[in-house]
Structure 1
Amino acid sequence: MSLNTGIAAEDRKVIAEGLSKVLADSYTLYLKTHNYHWNVTGPGFPQLHRLFEEQYTALAAAVDEVAERIRILGFPAPGSYKAFAALASIEEAEGVPSAREMVEQLAADNEAVARSARAVFPAAESATDEATVDLLTQRMAAHEKAAWMLRATAA
């Protein structure tokens, strides 16, 4: 069956490619946040353990929304570590950093996901893809807030 929702095929492709980067960054951030949830130690442990859990839980839902939007646009969503590694701008953590380093890295990584989402925005907007614009707006707001919460924790 052909797809005709009023968004040109080439526009859908460009948007899906951008969303694939958002998905890769989001999934990498999900894994990193979950890892830090498991491995955080120190005086702020209870608060950071809860904060990281709240954030990775929200990311789990977000990656599904982004992947589904890619599928709605008619393209396959990346779903392997190899694909994510090729697309992501966020680096995986090596070893177990200090609690402060975890917070700083996650704040920077949330800002990176916000930038990835913002980069797709012009293509979605010019294609009058309001559904993607709405999704991107929600993702940018969520990541900017998460980064703010983490920065405030590190202050």
Structure 2
Amino acid sequence: MQTSIGISAENREVVAHQLAKLLADEFVLYTKTLNAHWNLEGIDFHSVHNYFEDLYNQSVEIVDGVAERIRQLGHYAPATLKNFLQLTHLTEQDEDGNDSRSLIRKLLSDHESIIEFIRGNIDEFQDAHKDAGTSDFVTGLMEKHEKIAWMLRAHLK
């Protein structure tokens, strides 16, 4: 069935492709957050383990939201690990520490990378591709990542 939401097919395709990259980033970050939750060690294990659990629960909601936004635009969301690894801007995590500070630094870096990617697309979605809905949607995601990044930074002080 044809998607008729006031955005040209060409613009919806460009936006959906950028959202596919964001989805890949979000899924990789979700996986890295699970890694941090599962493999954390140290004296602050209990509190940080619980914090990482909160983070991965937030991540899974974000992943689902991005995939659903792609579907709202009339496109299919990438849904394989192979696709995610081809599309992501993030890198695999090396095994250089399972203490809270090391893991938090890695997660903070990824959240900041996603913030920059989103910020670079907000105006383009609205202005160049006439998609105010996706622009608004990713603005909300950026604000979530900014809050998480602030909290991660606070752990490192």
TM-score, normalisation: structure 1: 0.94
Report the Cα offset of residue 71 of structure 1. 1.1
Say whether the 8 Å CA contact 1:18–1:119 is kept in structure 2. Answer: no
CA drift of 1:66 comes to 0.3
Note the alpha carbon deviations across 1:22-41, whole angstroms, 9 max, x for none.
10010000000011101111
Q: Give aligned pairs, total.
A: 155
1:141 maps to 143
Once the 2 structures are TM-superposed, how far is the Cα of residue 99 of structure 1 from its aligned partner? 2.1
The runs of 5 or more residues in structure 2 that have no matched partner are none
Instruction: Write the mapping of 1:4-153 to structure 2, written as runs, cut at 5 A.
Output: 4-95=4-95, 97=97, 98-126=99-127, 127-153=129-155
String of CA shifts for 1:81-136, please: whole Å, max 9, x gaps. Answer: 11111111111213362321101010010111112222221232113322212210
1:137 corresponds to which letter in structure 2? T
TM-superposed CA distance for 1:144, in Å, is 1.0
Q: Once structures 1 and 2 are overlaid, which stretch shifts more, 93-102 or 71-80?
A: 93-102
Where do 5+ consecutive residues of structure 1 fail to align?
none
Superposed displacement of residue 63, structure 1: 0.5
Question: In the TM superposition, what whole-angstrom CA distance separates every residue of 1:26-64 from its partner, at most 9, and x where no partner exists?
Answer: 000000001110111112212211111111101101111
Classify the secondary structure of the residue corresponding to 1:42: coil
RMSD, aligned α-carbons: 1.3
- Give the alignment's TM-score, normalised by structure 2: 0.93
The share of aligned pairs that are identical, in percent, is: 40
Secondary structure, counterpart of 1:2 in structure 2 = coil
What CA distance in whole angstroms lies between the structure 2 residues aligned with 1:130 and 1:49? 38
User: 1: CA distance between counterparts of 2:156 and 2:46?
Assistant: 15
